[in-house]
Structure 1
Amino acid sequence: MAHDRRAPLNPLLAVLFAVGAVAVLFLAGLAAQRYGSKEPAAVAGPAATTKATKKAPTTPPPPGVGDPVRDGKFEFVVSRVDCSRTKVGLEHLEKTAKGKYCVVSLSVRNIADESQYFLGRWQKAFDAAGTEYGNDEIAGVYANHDTQTFLKKLSPGDRVEGKLVFDVPKATRLTSLELHDSLLSGGVKVTVAR
């Protein structure tokens, strides 16, 4: 009869083997949690959406009254828009609007290295529907008692202040201006009603 020559299993070695197997399983579980599991991502609720919205970068508002804007050789700053008048000028030298006058007070500065004329006829105003209104140059002469205000050539660095006048229907509310340094320039928008 043959004898089984295998040595009996040492009880201490068996315990160490079992503890080692449990430790390996435990460490594998920790690694799966730490380095990402393949579970599907949770659906974001309203709170997550709100946080994402708050973190999204916001676009700055368009330039408005008081903001310097540039087109070509000129920098413009609209300081005021008054649409409450029906007449412009002095007591005996005045012009009456067909509707009402929107008088735009602004400054114009030549930021280029050569001289250029600023002409009111290139300036435009718009209402909320996108209707375009042209500058009333004759009313502008009455509103700018000094007729030289916008009729002189601006040298580099020169700044003038004056008024543009738009004759618009009485119910019209202007929302923006488009200011140009010349007839063919791209123009720059200024929001006048937010």
Structure 2
Amino acid sequence: MRGIGRLGLMVFVSCALPMPVLSGCGGSEPAAPTVTVTHTESSAPPPARPSASHSAQLPGATTPGIGEPVRDGSFQFVVQGVRRASAADDVGPLEPDGERILVELTVTNIGLQPARFFNDSASLVIDGKQHSADTMASVYLSPESAEDIQPGLSIDVATPFDVPVGSVPEAILLDGDIFDSSVIRVDLNGAPR
């Protein structure tokens, strides 16, 4: 072995390995790998994944309401209240097309990593139609929502919606993970009146 040297020994050992482990040491090309797929019949359909327009709740479960914690992704949400914006609310220089409804939330990071809640991922349901959050007004009302929430910590945010005057919201749809299609529906019981 003394005359072979390290490189020669490596080539000798490498070429001695089985072909599927190492190819290119001379000889014929290895055969293509064989894959066997076994299909078994199942009478149960695959589980359905909730769509973005449906709640990520179990069938038959009641819809949570104001004051009840709900979870999605890295967040737990509690709707604290719903109110019409007043002149005292600093919602920025842009006037709404209708009026602003503010949904007050406590958002808690229940994950293991810092995470950011995006106000504009929420939708308000009025007469069966979804209304997106007013992103510009969100920046003025809740600037802390633009920062990461550390694990175990909470922030209070007001999520504004520009809606037709006199609107009565039915629910808010909350999304704690923008990379999946599930949302949580929280019943607002027609608040504010």
TM-based fold match above 0.5: yes
Pick closer, same or farther for the CA change 1:87–1:168 going to 2, 3 Å: farther
Where do residues 63-82 of structure 1 align in structure 2 (5 Å cutoff)? Answer: 63-82=64-83
* Displacement after TM superposition at 1:84 (Å): 5.3
Judge conservation of contact 1:85–1:102 (CA < 8 Å) in 2.
no
Other-structure match for 1:111: 110
Q: Distance in 1 between matches of 2:124 and 2:65?
A: 13
Find the partner of 2:141 among 126, 139, 143.
143
Q: TM-score, normalised by structure 2?
A: 0.61
Pick closer, same or farther for the CA change 1:170–1:162 going to 2, 3 Å: same
* Displacement after TM superposition at 1:60 (Å): 6.4
Where do residues 27-42 of structure 1 align in structure 2 (5 Å cutoff)? Answer: none
Asked which structure has the greater RCO (Cα within 8 Å, sep 6+), the reply is 2
Other-structure match for 2:100: 101
Q: Which amino acid aligns with 2:155?
A: V
Other-structure match for 2:33: none
Other-structure match for 1:132: 130
Structure 1 gaps of 5+ residues are: 1-58
Q: Deviations over 1:7-36 (max 9, x none)?
A: xxxxxxxxxxxxxxxxxxxxxxxxxxxxxx
Judge conservation of contact 1:87–1:101 (CA < 8 Å) in 2.
no
DSSP-derived class of the 1:121 partner: helix
* Displacement after TM superposition at 1:61 (Å): 4.0
Q: Which amino acid aligns with 2:117?
A: F
Q: Deviations over 1:139-169 (max 9, x none)?
A: 112223xx2x101111211111111000001
DSSP-derived class of the 1:154 partner: coil
Structure 2 gaps of 5+ residues are: 1-59
Where do residues 9-88 of structure 1 align in structure 2 (5 Å cutoff)? Answer: 61-83=62-84, 85=86, 88=89
DSSP-derived class of the 1:182 partner: coil
Taking only the aligned residue pairs, the percentage that are identical comes to 25
Other-structure match for 1:157: 152
Q: Distance in 2 between matches of 1:87 and 1:100?
A: 14
DSSP-derived class of the 1:142 partner: helix
Which structure has the highest strand share of the two? 1
Find the partner of 2:184 among 163, 181, 188.
188
Q: Distance in 1 between matches of 2:169 and 2:87?
A: 15
* Displacement after TM superposition at 1:85 (Å): 4.1
DSSP-derived class of the 2:97 partner: strand
Q: Give the aligned CA root-mean-square deviation in angstroms.
A: 2.1
Pick closer, same or farther for the CA change 1:106–1:60 going to 2, 3 Å: same
